[in-house]
């Protein structure tokens, strides 16, 4: 199933029922069933699944956070004059968090009176809930700040590391936190004792990372294949080497998608191709072989049987794995 949206594809998502949706640079959200809704007056900058797993939560350059389902669009929050560059939600705590400039906002869709705002010294680049939805990690310049999502007055824990941190992933057990940096590298921490982990060797910037295989592996983009770091054991990848799956000297991976409890991953390349792989067998399954615009969005369904992608020119698709 292929689509031509004529707008940059910011995000591809699967809801909990396995239906695909796409958030676009023209402010719309499109569903694979054909529904198209205008969510923002301007571009969609960020997107995630809502706490219920149904629909799409988006942040836009109009300062709004919107929940969109095939039935309609509902504004959840608005910060006039700010770009909403990152959004996250937790199915466990039912909270939504988003970055607006140097502020992190936390909202509860079930309680209109609940709102938290946490200030940072530099702009919020990414936000991620821990697996229980109680704690938030914020990527910013100089490191990662940790906040308790519901506590109003608190001093954050700061995991310091020089440079600009742009994307985050928590391990499924909450013991490790990994940040992609503006430089061609990752930085990680064992949260309990703030032990540092430097993870480098990338030929390009890592834009996408995801834990998989019950937390035993971290898959990332940024190389000529999908880079998989071992995270089994108490020390994670410390002293271990990463493996590279699907190495191809002619292209770089731009996006990666995986589910925490399964061994399948998907990769999107800068030449428009998409493939999937079960890392226990390392057999690549081509999903989109035609070359074209770089892949900007990628998702794998909860059962790891379907993959959705989008590219910078508005091309998109959904394919069955196997």
pLDDT at 234: 82
pLDDT digits (tens, 9 = 90+) for 254-306: 999 999 999 999 999 999 999 999 998 868 999 999 999 999 999 999 999 99
Q: What is the dihedral of CA 177, 181, 183, 186, to 10 degrees?
A: 20
Are 164 and 182 in contact by the 8 Å Cβ rule? The answer is yes
pLDDT at 233: 83
pLDDT digits (tens, 9 = 90+) for 113-144: 999 999 999 999 999 999 999 999 999 999 99
* Whole-number Å distance between alpha carbons of 320 and 239: 37
pLDDT above 70 coverage of the chain, percent: 99
Could you give the angle at the alpha carbon of 106 between the alpha carbons of 32 and 66, nearest 5°?
A: 30
Could you give the angle at the alpha carbon of 309 between the alpha carbons of 303 and 310, nearest 5°?
A: 155
141: tokens are: 């310049």
76: alpha, beta or left? (left if phi > 0; alpha if psi -120 to 50): alpha
pLDDT digits (tens, 9 = 90+) for 4-28: 999 999 999 999 989 999 999 999 9
* Whole-number Å distance between alpha carbons of 216 and 212: 7
pLDDT at 69: 96
Domains of the chain as residue ranges with CATH: 202-322 (2.130.10.10)
pLDDT digits (tens, 9 = 90+) for 152-202: 999 999 999 999 999 999 999 999 999 999 999 999 999 999 999 989 999
pLDDT band (50, 70, 90) for residue 107: very high
Which residues are within 8 A (CB) of 301 and not within 5 positions of it... i.e. 6 or more apart? Answer: 14, 18, 20, 307, 308
3-state secondary structure of 100: strand
Bridge partners of 288, per DSSP, are 274
pTM for the full predicted model: 0.95
Q: DSSP letter at 215? A: G
206: tokens are: 């890592």
Mean pLDDT score of the chain, rounded to an integer?
95
pLDDT at 239: 81
Average pLDDT over residues 91-104: 97
pLDDT at 282: 65
pLDDT at 116: 97
178: tokens are: 């990994």
Are 7 and 42 in contact by the 8 Å Cβ rule? The answer is no
How many DSSP H helices and E strands does the chain contain? 0, 30
Give yes or no for residue 85 having a pLDDT over 90: yes
Which residues are within 8 A (CB) of 297 and not within 5 positions of it... i.e. 6 or more apart? Answer: 9, 10, 11, 12, 22, 23, 255, 268, 308, 309, 310, 311, 316
Give yes or no for residue 322 having a pLDDT over 80: no
pLDDT digits (tens, 9 = 90+) for 202-242: 999 999 999 999 999 999 999 999 999 999 888 888 888 89
């Amino acid at each position: 199933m292929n689509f031509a949206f004529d707008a940059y594809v910011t995000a591809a998502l699967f809801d909990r029922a396995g239906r695909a949706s796409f958030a676009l640079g023209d402010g719309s959200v499109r569903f694979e069933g054909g529904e198209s809704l205008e969510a923002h007056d301007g571009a969609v900058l960020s997107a995630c699944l809502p706490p219920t797993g149904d629909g799409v939560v988006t942040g836009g350059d109009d300062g709004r956070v919107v929940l969109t389902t095939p039935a309609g669009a509902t504004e959840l929050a608005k910060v006039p004059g700010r770009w909403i560059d990152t959004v996250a939600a937790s199915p466990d705590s039912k909270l939504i968090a988003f970055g607006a400039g140097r502020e992190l906002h936390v909202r509860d869709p079930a309680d209109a009176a609940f709102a938290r705002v946490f200030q940072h010294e530099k702009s919020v680049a990414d936000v991620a809930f821990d697996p229980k939805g109680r704690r938030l990690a914020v990527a910013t310049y100089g490191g990662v700040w940790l906040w308790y999502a519901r506590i109003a007055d608190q001093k954050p824990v700061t995991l310091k590391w020089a440079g600009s941190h742009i994307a985050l992933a928590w391990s499924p057990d909450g013991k490790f936190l990994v940040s992609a940096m503006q430089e061609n590298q990752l930085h990680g921490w064992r949260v309990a004792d703030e032990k540092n982990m430097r993870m480098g060797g990338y030929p390009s910037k890592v834009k996408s990372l995801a834990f998989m295989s019950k937390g035993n592996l971290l898959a990332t983009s940024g190389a000529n294949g999908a880079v998989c770091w071992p995270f089994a054991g108490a020390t994670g990848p410390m002293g271990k080497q990463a493996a590279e799956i699907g190495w191809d000297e002619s292209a770089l991976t731009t996006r990666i998608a995986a589910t925490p409890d399964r061994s399948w991953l998907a990769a999107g390349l800068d030449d428009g191709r998409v493939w999937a792989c079960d890392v226990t067998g390392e057999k690549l399954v081509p999903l989109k072989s035609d070359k074209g615009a770089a892949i900007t969005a990628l998702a794998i369904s909860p059962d790891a049987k379907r993959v959705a992608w989008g590219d910078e020119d508005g091309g998109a698709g959904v394919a069955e794995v196997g």
